[in-house]
Structure 1
Amino acid sequence: MRLDGVGRRYGLRGDWVLREVDLSLPERSLVRFEGGNGSGKSTLLRMLAGVETPTEGQITGRPSCGYVPERFPATMPLTTRGYLTHLGRVHGLSRTVAVRRAGEWLERFGAAGHSDTPLSELSKGTSQKVAVTQALMARPGLLVLDEAWTGLDHDARTVLDHAVAERVAEGATVVFVDHDPGRLAGASDAAYRVEGGRLRPVAEKDGPRRRGGAAGGGKRVRVVAEGPPGQPPPALPASVIAEQLPGGTIVLTAPVAYSDVLLGSLLEQNWYIRSVREESA
């Protein structure tokens, strides 16, 4: 997915919110956007999701998209199950698959008991779980998260962290904004700051960073595994460092956020896990 010369303003003579944004978003990548309030982060995410169109420039190569907006429209006259089934159909799922996946995600987020609750009666935290579920259930190629962790309890935030890792590991592009600078620390493949209507990469001088990682570094896990003869390791996000050793052994160093997904992928492909060790940043 690419943005070339993208700009956005509201009204023919309104101030430019964003200008001259050039950006490449490769598959199997996690990208963080930072910036102060009113800097244009949400505007950028809405354009990435296709909710708004650029005033100038163009966006090409957008895959199927799941989008969690900054505010969830909880006033619609639908139950949780009805809303998620409808959104699943909009995303191209059959009714049967939409109902099944909605149930699976609600269970993961600890909200299965609210399937028949009207949206207007949900708490803020449960509404956010529903908002995240609708974005994840169709397994989008592009996942856009605007403060998606806000309002979630600790367990649900952990579930969303794992869901992001799963989407990236399966080849999707995930872009996100979050007020917590430690969110998915060390797992991002790139980070950008929106400032003065422009987009700039966040460099090493802007704060402590791991190579290709988000602010704050973060713990990593070191996995030593041995694969079947001649079989390459599973496709990996860019933030996972691979070192091939003689005899079919590979050493993988990954952000902790990717550890469960990484181990699951190796075991699914019949790799033998020799050791797993957590390392400090």
Structure 2
Amino acid sequence: MRLTGVGKRYGRGGPWVLREVELTLRPGGPVRIEGANGSGKSTLLKLLAGIERAERGTVEAPAGRAYVPERFPPALPFDVRDYLCHLGRIRGLAAGEARRRADHWLERFGIAGYAGTPIGRLSKGTCQKVAVAQALLAEAELLLLDEAWTGLDQAARGELDGAVAERVAAGALVVFVDHDPTRLAGLTTAVHRVDGGTLHEVPLPAVDGDGPRTALVVEAEVLPEWLPGRPGRKPLADGATRLDVPAAHSDALLRRLLAAHPPVHIRSVREETP
């Protein structure tokens, strides 16, 4: 995916929201876009999604794109499952496959009971889960998430974290915006900041492999495949697992474990100094 000399403004003669943006991204890990409110983060994601067009420059992006907007329109004339199946068909899925994927994500986000509910009657949090589900069922090459975690409960946030890791493992490119600076810690491979209409790469924070670490002993039927900080895993004789992670990622790891499904029992947490 490549942006070359991209400029965007709203209205002829209006101020430039983005100016001379240069960006090249390849699959390999999620890419974080950060910046102050109103800096142009959402505009950048809309350009990548093909929802907005650049006044200047060129945007080269995969044809298979999926997007979770910052604000999902709830006033849609569909029941939840019908809406997801409809979008699946638009994206080229056969009817049966569209329904299978719709039901999978409804179950995974814990809203299968709302499958026949009109979208306009959903709570804000449930509506946000539908917004996320419609993007994930496409299994797109480029997944764009604009504050997609906002409004989700803790368990759903954990599911979305895991889904992002799965898309990355499948070779997709994920670009996201989120207020939480620890979101997808240990998985993110690049950070770019929008400032004054231009885009600047931000060095990833260094995690000292010889610095403080956190050791957790946990019990679970199945541990999530991806965990923040990519902790080391050591099976213990009593069936528990010891996780070892740099202390900088320990808070994000704990949040992921607490939101995991099936549940994970955290037996102990201990800080370790080399």
TM-score (norm 2): 0.78
Deviation of residue 95 (structure 1)?
1.2
Change (3 A) 1:276 1:140: farther
Corresponding position: 1:167 with 2:138: no
Unaligned stretches of 5+ residues in structure 1: 212-217, 222-253, 264-274
One-letter identity of the residue aligned with 2:245: E
| Aligned match of 1:156 | 156
Deviation of residue 35 (structure 1)?
0.5
| Aligned match of 1:279 | 245
Deviation of residue 210 (structure 1)?
3.9
One-letter identity of the residue aligned with 1:29: G
One-letter identity of the residue aligned with 1:85: C
In structure 2, distance between residues paired with 1:209 and 1:124: 37
Do the aligned partners of 1:161 and 1:257 also contact (CA within 8 Å) in 2? no
Change (3 A) 1:122 1:168: same
| Aligned match of 1:269 | none
Change (3 A) 1:44 1:14: same
**Size of the alignment, in residue pairs?**
228
The two structures, once aligned, show a CA RMSD in angstroms of 2.5
Deviation of residue 92 (structure 1)?
1.1
In structure 2, distance between residues paired with 1:126 and 1:61: 30
Do the aligned partners of 2:3 and 2:59 also contact (CA within 8 Å) in 1? yes
| Aligned match of 1:250 | none
One-letter identity of the residue aligned with 1:191: V
In structure 1, distance between residues paired with 2:77 and 2:193: 38
Corresponding position: 1:138 with 2:138: yes
| Aligned match of 2:222 | none
Write out aligned runs for 1:39-188 (5 A). 39-188=39-188
Unaligned stretches of 5+ residues in structure 2: 217-224, 234-240, 249-274
Corresponding position: 1:25 with 2:44: no
In structure 2, distance between residues paired with 1:76 and 1:21: 34
Do the aligned partners of 1:186 and 1:255 also contact (CA within 8 Å) in 2? no
Do the aligned partners of 1:144 and 1:175 also contact (CA within 8 Å) in 2? yes
Corresponding position: 1:256 with 2:227: yes
Deviations 1:124-171 (A, max 9, x none): 110000000000001000000000000000000000000000000110
Deviation of residue 220 (structure 1)?
10
TM-score (norm 1): 0.76
Change (3 A) 1:107 1:192: same
Do the aligned partners of 1:219 and 1:255 also contact (CA within 8 Å) in 2? no
- Percent of paired sites with the same residue: 55
Change (3 A) 1:202 1:80: same
One-letter identity of the residue aligned with 2:162: H
Change (3 A) 1:139 1:259: farther
Query: What SS is found at the alignment partner of 1:27?
Result: coil
| Aligned match of 1:11 | 11
Stretches of 4+ aligned residues off by more than 3 angstroms: 208-211, 218-221, 257-260
Write out aligned runs for 1:192-271 (5 A). 192-203=192-203, 208-210=205-207, 256-257=227-228
